[in-house]
Structure 1
């Protein structure tokens, strides 16, 4: 009798535990890398797993992510589609709002515990390296060769260097998340209605830009009778080279791009933040702060906070990607229906230099746990997105989900967001790779026709990161220190009136504290790449 009750107790406990895992409280307290242990059968005729299989992951909830119909990241129109169409249940061990690095920190904590899911996706380059170095994830090169669809392989082949950052001893340990070319290359967005009111023309040079910024700051462009506007809004909390409210183009006007490795005329790679042009750019930014053209609070502004100043009608110029007209700049038009925004090229500097941060066609990586029994499951999922969503064919010809990112009007598919019942939802943000699937060269289809000439003018303005390899040995121990030194020095020069000589002191320290060795290692890698 006692044995019977013990068996009943065990069955009850296991049933309860199973239910807890399925509903997912959002916190994982044990090692859930049992992962995909159920029997796997893929029915090629139906194009799905029967019975459904489970694929575990973890997720970050970005501030701009929106939901409707009571959905969330764990259960939504996309996860429902994946299960019904592909027979794959996507289950989250945990999700967390991604603010102030919360997702990266949570990943590090769970990594130390060994609590990694089947699939981890992240855009954080430092975290990716830590995940690879942990030894908990598979080599992915052979998996990709064996399981990726021809469409996905062709997209990856457009720029094979996207693999470089994720390699160790010639092997690939993460799958690059492809992105469009030029997706975060900055162009300038300017208030055309302010230009018209003040009888100004579009600035083409830094000198002309300064004249426009002065007028936007001191000639009451919004007509409220108060001195409460700025010529330009930038966010420097995360440095001068960033995806929105960027100021890399200021440095580009002096022949360098900060916070990245650039190709020099002598054939070597140089770090842009320690080049002489960076000194001139810092002095210019300091002058703009002193003259009031740029808010002193820019020191603390992140990308979205800086953009808020433009959206509120308190700044006349902002630098950011081609898609900013859709978000967040469209909010300005809601606040001021008379506002007119125009895209213009970044200006040239005193010696004719034009430059801005360029975009590599990679935006993160997918890592596959060594304990995942059937990694092909992930490839079935991602292959489908590449084959149909990335190519806008089949059931994804108009979008990922009807009445979410597209709808039907009078029997005709429409992607007009204003017509979508209950509001438009970016379903691609629910996918494991953040944007569904992107083929880099398909960018032209995404760029509005009126923006393309601006983005590609001049064509050589886009300066991409030239060092695409994994961190060098000295980078692993010294790079964080050098980055802090750089950020502190730049902030002091721009905002705290530090003398120009502080830049030269910074450069000397940078080389002495490990930068010189890193220079050697980076160029050794670069010469090796060119020799292939």
Structure 2
């Protein structure tokens, strides 16, 4: 009897221990990734990511900054870095394949390819979930969330926040102005005089006739590049994407505006007077940047927050350069552009289970905490920065080598005052730039067409814009007379398809405006 009783006790004890073990295991393994966690904590999130690379070499898998971010966000990231030069092509191939990483950068949410993917149910509608993540609510502006809604009024990605003010606009060499005794231009007439002086009066004082006023480029088939900013200064419209302006409550294509004709005449005169690079129509963005960064051009179109990038390169040419030798213009003819508050977005495909999707949102939300975002902003103490008098002093060259800024293409926190200058520039320079930005905010104009959906425009607008740029370029180069533009506009005003585009864009604008007002 005693032996049999002992067996029952042993058996009962084993059952109880198994039950307890199962309970502990169930409580401890909360992972949605299939990874066990023996310490009672949630296992790291395995997440595949595809994003843009804007530097020559990507961060390795054992990159220290990456590892610190992973530790802080309880994740294990497998990142596919794709060069910005061919990212759109790679993205389109990836979307078409259906084999989409868990988190993917959508550099333009309004391409037909992404819109179609959304319509076919390929991505999570994040609208119902955003309220549960405090940083996604507070550190991504309402404007950015509104402007990235699809035509159904829902959000299929997290906008990558950027400052709305200090958007890409004229940045001028203030030291060149000072060398020639010129004031900062505020009108296109004053700008013309400055550019003419930059071309003819040796602004860099090297005794050579080797300077060009404007680092200009264009991107065929439909992007006027640098010249668009001059055109916008005439029309007062921010036409960074589709070329539209709100006029008397209706969305009108800017080609029909009389101010556009004036801007073409202005640009034609610029080219005739050799104020543009002779080969501007074939120059690429990188080549135009090289002109400015090589000390050969006095004006570039760029975001105020990029000034440190230009400064680091120009300082190698002229060690006496100061950060305040750059001057982001306040406005031109009372106009300057307001940014949309975002640059693309990151999206999660529906192939990701809901539980894992929520963990990815949590990862991004945690990544936006000040202490976590600081990892990529400042790098590793003692390696990428030192602390002096309580302030972090960054070794910019080492931080770039360690790929810190590359992680901004996945998760970013936007400082309203161009954080990339605040980190690197002294107080004197930042006080100046903050003052200019506050002035810009009084006159900045948003691109109201961002995100507006017109089925007709999706089909026909690219060809129309191609014709517009082609004719503008021919007139500027002197191959066609300005009367050719008059003939083009007359036909465009009678074009039923263009009228339908305007009507659909207007209806989409009114629908979004009424929704935002609720």
TM-score normalised by the chain length of structure 1: 0.78
Instruction: Tell me the residue number matched to 2:165.
Output: 182
1:110 to 86, 94, 109: 94
Instruction: Tell me the residue number matched to 1:449.
Output: 431
Instruction: Tell me the residue number matched to 1:145.
Output: 131
Question: Partners of 2:331 and 2:158 in 1: how far apart?
Answer: 37
State the SS of the aligned residue for 2:347: strand
Give aligned pairs, total: 468
Instruction: Tell me the residue number matched to 1:436.
Output: 411
2:229 to 248, 253, 262: 248
1:382 to 364, 372, 377: 364
Question: Partners of 1:105 and 1:510 in 2: how far apart?
Answer: 32
Tell whether the 8 Å contact from 1:429 to 1:436 is kept in structure 2 after alignment.
Answer: no
1:39 to 21, 34, 38: 34
1:484, CA displacement in angstroms? 1.5
CA change 1:42–1:172 in 2 (3 A) is: farther
1:523, CA displacement in angstroms? 0.8
Write the mapping of 1:342-353 to structure 2, written as runs, cut at 5 A: 342-345=326-329, 348=332, 353=333
Write the mapping of 1:90-109 to structure 2, written as runs, cut at 5 A: 90-92=77-79, 94-99=80-85, 102-109=86-93
**Pairwise CA RMSD:** 3.3
Question: Partners of 2:414 and 2:314 in 1: how far apart?
Answer: 31
1:311, CA displacement in angstroms? 1.7
Point out the structure with max Rg over C-alpha: 2
Q: Does structure 1 residue 218 correspond to structure 2 residue 200?
A: yes
CA change 1:171–1:199 in 2 (3 A) is: closer
1:360, CA displacement in angstroms? 0.6
Question: Partners of 1:398 and 1:165 in 2: how far apart?
Answer: 26
Question: Partners of 2:373 and 2:437 in 1: how far apart?
Answer: 31
2:386 to 408, 411, 436: 408
Q: Does structure 1 residue 362 correspond to structure 2 residue 342?
A: yes
1:324, CA displacement in angstroms? 3.0
Q: Does structure 1 residue 77 correspond to structure 2 residue 64?
A: yes
Instruction: Tell me the residue number matched to 1:236.
Output: 218
1:328, CA displacement in angstroms? 2.2
CA change 1:75–1:397 in 2 (3 A) is: closer
1:168, CA displacement in angstroms? 4.0
1:508, CA displacement in angstroms? 4.4
State the SS of the aligned residue for 2:105: strand
Q: Does structure 1 residue 55 correspond to structure 2 residue 47?
A: yes
Instruction: Tell me the residue number matched to 1:517.
Output: 500
Question: Partners of 1:326 and 1:123 in 2: how far apart?
Answer: 24
Q: Does structure 1 residue 195 correspond to structure 2 residue 187?
A: no
Q: Does structure 1 residue 173 correspond to structure 2 residue 156?
A: yes
TM-score normalised by the chain length of structure 2: 0.80
State the SS of the aligned residue for 1:39: coil
Write the mapping of 1:411-422 to structure 2, written as runs, cut at 5 A: 412-417=390-395
Q: Which has the higher helix share?
A: 2
1:247, CA displacement in angstroms? 4.3
State the SS of the aligned residue for 1:80: helix
State the SS of the aligned residue for 2:128: helix
1:493 to 451, 475, 478: 475
CA change 1:53–1:435 in 2 (3 A) is: closer
Tell whether the 8 Å contact from 1:231 to 1:294 is kept in structure 2 after alignment.
Answer: yes
CA change 1:347–1:86 in 2 (3 A) is: closer
1:164, CA displacement in angstroms? 4.2
Instruction: Tell me the residue number matched to 2:285.
Output: 303
Q: Which has the higher contact order (CA 8 A, sep 6+)?
A: 2
Question: Partners of 2:83 and 2:375 in 1: how far apart?
Answer: 31
Instruction: Tell me the residue number matched to 2:15.
Output: none
Q: Does structure 1 residue 89 correspond to structure 2 residue 114?
A: no
How big is each residue's C-alpha offset from its partner over 1:38-92, in whole Å with a ceiling of 9 and x where there is no partner?
A: 426799x99x632x33111223322x3666xxx43x4423432243333321114
Tell whether the 8 Å contact from 1:472 to 1:521 is kept in structure 2 after alignment.
Answer: yes
Question: Partners of 2:308 and 2:151 in 1: how far apart?
Answer: 39
1:254, CA displacement in angstroms? 4.6
Instruction: Tell me the residue number matched to 1:262.
Output: 245
1:313 to 292, 295, 309: 295
Unaligned runs of 5+ in 2: 1-30, 423-429
Question: Partners of 1:297 and 1:521 in 2: how far apart?
Answer: 38
How big is each residue's C-alpha offset from its partner over 1:420-443, in whole Å with a ceiling of 9 and x where there is no partner?
A: 767665524225xx1633257565
Question: Partners of 2:363 and 2:253 in 1: how far apart?
Answer: 39
Tell whether the 8 Å contact from 1:428 to 1:435 is kept in structure 2 after alignment.
Answer: no
Question: Partners of 1:396 and 1:295 in 2: how far apart?
Answer: 40
Question: Partners of 1:515 and 1:403 in 2: how far apart?
Answer: 57
